[in-house]
Amino acid sequence: MSTKTKLENFVKIYDKSENQCLIKLNLSRSHQSLLAKMLCGVAPLMVELGRFKNIAREKRVCTVCTKNVTEDKEHFLTICEGLKDVWEKHEKIIGSLDFVTLFTKDNLKNTAVMLEEMFNERHKLMTIKAK
Ligand SMILES: [Zn+2]
């Protein structure tokens, strides 16, 4: 689990990127939104969604896999077994799923495509489990 605050993560990414403004890039609105949410630490993962339901952090677990751990961005991007096929495929394209690498200017388009596929797969798996 990351011990850095959202602001520390944002500053770490922001300082190392050139031309960070997502609006200047040729990305769809949904891709810009996914990148911005992930970058700012407000992606719709259990670690965030649980905050609004007053669920203790340790109980905001991933419902996609069976690891019974908090679903935060690290788990989502590189650990979750339920999403492994998707992140492994994109890791080969992007080179690394390190947060700084994902958010360098040259990787933003590929990162957005990966995030879209991952959230679609996550939604599909959660829907299947809910039945
Ligand atoms: Zn998981």
User: pLDDT tens digits, residue range 30-86?
Assistant: 998 999 899 888 999 999 999 999 999 999 999 999 999 999 999 999 999 999 999
> What's the rounded Cα separation, in Å, for the pair 65 and 79?
10
> What's the rounded Cα separation, in Å, for the pair 67 and 100?
25
> What's the rounded Cα separation, in Å, for the pair 125 and 1?
23
Between the CA of 60 and the centroid of ligand 1 the distance, in Å, is 11
- % pLDDT > 70, the chain: 82
Between the CA of 23 and the centroid of ligand 1 the distance, in Å, is 31
CA distances from 129 to 48, 66, 74, 122 (A): 20, 11, 22, 11
Between the CA of 66 and the centroid of ligand 1 the distance, in Å, is 7
Between the CA of 79 and the centroid of ligand 1 the distance, in Å, is 7
